[in-house]
Structure 1
């Protein structure tokens, strides 16, 4: 097999594409022939040694992938060679093959494409957990999505609309705002040109959004939180801008508002039954055409470093997927 190896976590430029022995699955594991892998922001952080999980060296990055079962280890009875699956395993995806715990695999329904599946679990799992579980989003409520043209942002637009909410999508260019409207956003804000607080006030009649979905962080967080509705829920998804904001704690007091962390990977580990229910609902919405990953760039697996360059330059709308 071939794999991208990280033995010096100083950035994507230090990764090497190497031939390595193909592993055999141990008890409880499955060997997957990878067809597609999705690129997520934590994949960049982990090869820069900036992520909360710091795997022992060397390792193969790539948290999310889809493919076909080639072999199963002892004790695995619910999967067999030839089954189409998707995985969010944390590591191993930027390769031609990977062994993974069978419990981490999602069997793919008929008609679920490998590229879509490789851009689905992390992005849509995170977003469903945030909006529906943590924020308990209700039909008719207003959701403000920051970084709305990115992977989790585009998922948030689709899931919020499927749940019957009104969506205001905020992005950094007019082109990204146009994409958000195509995906169903009711209104958009270009936060690189407009006054965010004034625009939120205008678009919500002064009430503010009921839910804020924030994968950006940085200097947007405080002005947006100051605009949140009474009993609003502020979802902390990530920090794509690079800076972790510090919010004055008098703000949630004055608005009766909540700040909620969204860590889907830990939720899936601690609450597997609830996670299965969420993924089942998402698969149903996918089959109904209500949600579908936005994949702007589909590259060969050997082009991983180009994919990282696109992500670092914030030139990606939706997701980058790499295929074998």
Structure 2
């Protein structure tokens, strides 16, 4: 009896030993087979301009990987065709395909240095009102400064998280936000289409009125630098494409010249002109006493002196003033623009 039992145990042990050998053999085969399938993609991402390393994202298929601080990456791959994208903020995405033969031996597939180009922001500066290009505008983006050409075009390296400033004489300064700039680019870092920015002409508007009466003055000439405008029937004027730093000059044939006002960029300005008027005093040539009720006339108006021989007359320079009084000889003179005059 015991002999049979020993024999059975011996056969059982031999069976276990054979099974163990088979499992071990399969494990070795699997290990060799799996190693045979192991590949890796290795490379480095650099700035195409200055060659500096970039911290970038490498996407294989749909799986993302990040480079180290030195721009290097090593990604395990299985045999097959792999679509690879390399992207970094502020750069144009680069794409390529890696093919790994399933019959090839395990290896590391070296990729030549991936050099990413910075995004380029290009656009056209236009006049908001006329739609015409603005030549000579200064475009500031970070440390970069460029001038628009005759077609209003500009091109500058696009920097992430940096706004754009545009300035030009005769226009209000323009600021374009980082968000607006980013919206101009597609996912690949290329611009989606023609990009335009519109500048608003700087304008000065207001009215010209007469001192004392506040009556609107029509036909007055208002100027700032080279910009000029004539007031309408309501005394209104508008000057466009004006630049701070010049004086506001206004003139009217029926009014005294006015000293210019400083133009500092204000949107509106009321201007006041004094009419051509002279304050007269009519005196007796023999006694020097004032003559009341003397008649004073000019081509524009006529009036009489008061009890003190005084009167105010509206008259233009270069015209004739006539003074008559009972029992006195008529006096005439050419008015030369004086504010006070004794006759």
Q: What range describes the TM-score normalised by the shorter chain of this pair?
A: under 0.3
Structure-1-length-normalised TM-score: 0.21
Report which of the two has the higher share of strand.
Answer: 2
The answer to which structure, 1 or 2, has the higher relative contact order (CA under 8 A, 6+ apart) is: 1
Q: Kindly name which structure, 1 or 2, has the bigger radius of gyration based on alpha carbons.
A: 2
Report which of the two has the higher share of helix.
Answer: 1
Structure-2-length-normalised TM-score: 0.20
